[in-house]
Amino acid sequence: MTIQPDPTSFAVMAFYNPKIIDRRSLCAPDASIRTQDSQHVEIIEITLPFETCENFTNSQWPSTTSISSLLVGLDSHELVIQSLCPAQYEMKRHFEKYRSLPTGKMFSVGSLLFAITIALAACGNDKSTAPNDEVIFSADQKGNIDIYKLRGISGEISRLTTAEGTDHSPAWSPKRDIIGFLTDRNGSNELWLMDWNGESKHQLSGPGKTINAFRWAPNSEVIAVEIAEKRSSWIAVINIETGELTPLTSIEEDVRVGGWSPDAQWLLYAIVNSDSDGLRKRNPNGVDEITITSGFHTDPIWSPDGRWIAFSRKSDQGTSDLIITDNNAENVLTVNPDAFDETEFEWAPNSEHIVFSSESSGNAEIYTATPDGKVIKQLTSNRVTDTLPRWNSNGSSILFLSGGNGTFDLYSMDENGDQQKRMTSNSSRIINADW
């Protein structure tokens, strides 16, 4: 077989050999990948945009007018190109040649692999990552709570965990190469990690520690965890490579973990059930601890640009108000002030809006607001509960749960509430999700 790329396009193919190097990701403009194991070789599915449909000269291989999907791998001796067949993956070996249309020069497989190796070194990316349209969620199927992954384009759902016990609260690392999740498979609630495709599951938190919640640092290198004691909780940071745990707060204090600053230099948290309730920030690499607010305030998160902090404040009526303030708490704004709860909030990637769930209309609906509170927009309107809104990575779409009587499905919509789309129809209890 001869591969004939369009002369106006250029792509660098990546490969993985488990005997030589770690998993590698594709380094090509406008390309997406996913990996799967095929016996002794991990295969990388590469989706590249080509301008023509003349990508394959062999008629048994698929071709389309816009994209071609290749599976490229390396066995012990030669390059393997594998096509995605309708019913199964069929491995075929082809001519060990690569043709370049502009020059007509023929390259041997050895030369091609050498070029690929150089390209991989230039990329500096030693792990594959999940496509931006993939959603992870936990769902209760017949009393068994596990973690699933949904491919946005195809709608295909795959099960990532199958162990006994409850697996929940999945969260992508900022690099989207690792999934963190909580599980009680060993008795207590522990923090575990797995690759984005569900492989290499392992426990990160130490034995005997019950984890209430966790937050990825923006650099994907450490995770802040909230560890439960008998009557309180404390916070520590865990290095995901070494497993080293560094306490940040005293066990005697009762605290709740918050969000990281965009540069990963500060961690927000809330002190509760004491005479010094309020929000604080701590430098995990140093000794500084700074008080930001006083009062019963929880769930603090920084805006991605680092200018604002959003948090929840318990009102005199007992409801949860959404508050936005600057870093010094000098300008404090109540978003959508009313006698109803505003919860489940998250900043847009560009920091220009915050999305949240509110019961202002009588039941929980999804809203967005600008940081100054001047523009508030209701995005959903119905007689069921809409909650847990989450932005996609570029801020163009919002994921949320909708349902009633304990049964929820995943939906998506544009940032302005248009193009609402049902993503699951499992009639199951979806508990939480991350996009």
If one counts every other C-beta atom within 10 angstroms of the C-beta of residue 270, the result is 23
**Would you list the DSSP string of 111-155?**
HHHHHHHHHHHHH---S----TTEEEEEEEETTEEEEEEEETTT-
- Examine the pLDDT at 180 and tell me if it is beyond 90: yes
User: H-type helices in 32-108, by residue range?
Assistant: none
- Examine the pLDDT at 97 and tell me if it is beyond 50: no
pLDDT single digits (tens) 394-403: 999 999 999 8
The rounded mean pLDDT for the chain is 76
- Examine the pLDDT at 318 and tell me if it is beyond 80: yes
pLDDT single digits (tens) 342-383: 999 999 999 999 999 999 888 899 999 999 999 999 999 999
Q: Tell me, what's the pLDDT at 337?
A: 84
Q: Tell me, what's the pLDDT at 149?
A: 96
Domains of the chain are 32-123 (no CATH), 134-434 (2.120.10.30)
Q: Tell me, what's the pLDDT at 178?
A: 97
Q: Tell me, what's the pLDDT at 426?
A: 67
- Examine the pLDDT at 113 and tell me if it is beyond 80: no
Q: Tell me, what's the pLDDT at 427?
A: 59
Q: Tell me, what's the pLDDT at 111?
A: 41
**Would you list the DSSP string of 275-308?**
TT-EEEEE-TTSS-EEE---SSEEEEEE-TTSSE
CB burial readout 284-319, b (16+ within 10 A) else e: beeeeeeebbeebbbbbbbbbeeebbbbbbeeeeeb
Mean pLDDT along residues 405-434: 89
If one counts every other C-beta atom within 10 angstroms of the C-beta of residue 138, the result is 24
- Examine the pLDDT at 184 and tell me if it is beyond 90: yes
- Examine the pLDDT at 93 and tell me if it is beyond 50: no
pLDDT single digits (tens) 16-48: 333 322 333 333 334 344 444 443 333 434 443
Integer angstrom CA distances of residue 37 from 19, 27, 70, 127:
14, 20, 15, 15
Q: Tell me, what's the pLDDT at 179?
A: 98
Going by the DSSP 8-state scheme, the letter that residue 384 receives in this structure is S
Q: Tell me, what's the pLDDT at 396?
A: 95
